[in-house]
Amino acid sequence: MKLAVLISGRGSNLQSIIDACADPEFPAQIEIVISNKPDAYGLTRAEKAGIKTSIVSHKDYTTREAFEDALQNVLDTFPIDLICLAGFMRVLTEDFVNRWDGRMINIHPSLLPKFKGLNTHERAIDAGEKESGCTIHFVIPDMDEGPIILQRKVSIETGETAQSLAEKVLIAEHEAYPEAIRLLSSRLLKS
Ligand code: GRF
């Protein structure tokens, strides 16, 4: 499977995919990493791994549609099977999402459908949850919705802080993203 990974920042999930792809048995490879932020550290990670990068800054476009057209133009120059959103912090329009229906996935740091949106760890702790985790799901027009591919759970201990929970969940995320890609590729092969 040929992947496009879309990022906005640190890119630690991107790194987990890069590391997984280093295994010749892993059924996917990254064709392009695209960032909407020119200073995203994930771009450096991709460059270090010899992966092509592209910056499509939303600030260069006056409308969401124009930004997405530019994004699509970059995607069109590669044979992409699957878009992986990995900390990509732009809301995508229904048109763009529908164009990639069934071929775009996202990682979210909570056990969806709980805690959609931001500040997930703080909200999980404040709600008295005993566990949290991460979810990889197909992207549909509604944010943080869409069929779930897999989830990984972590426990919330007494005295847990948003930061300590974020660290635990992030470790789970780094296992989950490559696993979800592996799962999807085996489904593709069977169909
Ligand atoms: C992760 O927690 C991911 O679940 C969320 O944004 C964060 C991105 O982190 N969507 P990174 O850029 O992959 O390090």
**Closest ligand 1 atom, residue 85 Cα:** 10
**How many Cβ atoms sit within 10 Å of the Cβ of residue 156?**
21
Mean pLDDT value across residues 140-161? 97
Domain layout of the chain by residue ranges: 2-189
Locate 47 and state its tokens.
Answer: 């460059």
CATH match of 2-189 with 3.40.50.170: yes
pLDDT in tens, 153-176: 999 999 999 999 999 999 999 999
Instruction: Enumerate the known binding-site residues for (6R)-10-formyltetrahydrofolate.
Output: 64, 106
Ligand 1 near 40 CB (within 6 A): no
Atom of ligand 1 nearest to the CA of 40: 12
Q: In what order do the strands lie in the sheet with 131-138?
A: 53-55, 29-35, 2-7, 82-85, 104-108, 131-138, 148-155
Judge whether residue 191 has pLDDT over 60: no
Whether 10 is in the pocket of ligand 1, judged by its Cβ within 6 Å, is: yes
Averaged confidence pLDDT in the chain: 97
State the pTM of this model.
0.96
pLDDT at 71 over 80: yes
Report the nearest-CA residue for atom 10 of ligand 1: 87
133 lines ligand 1 (CB under 6 A): no
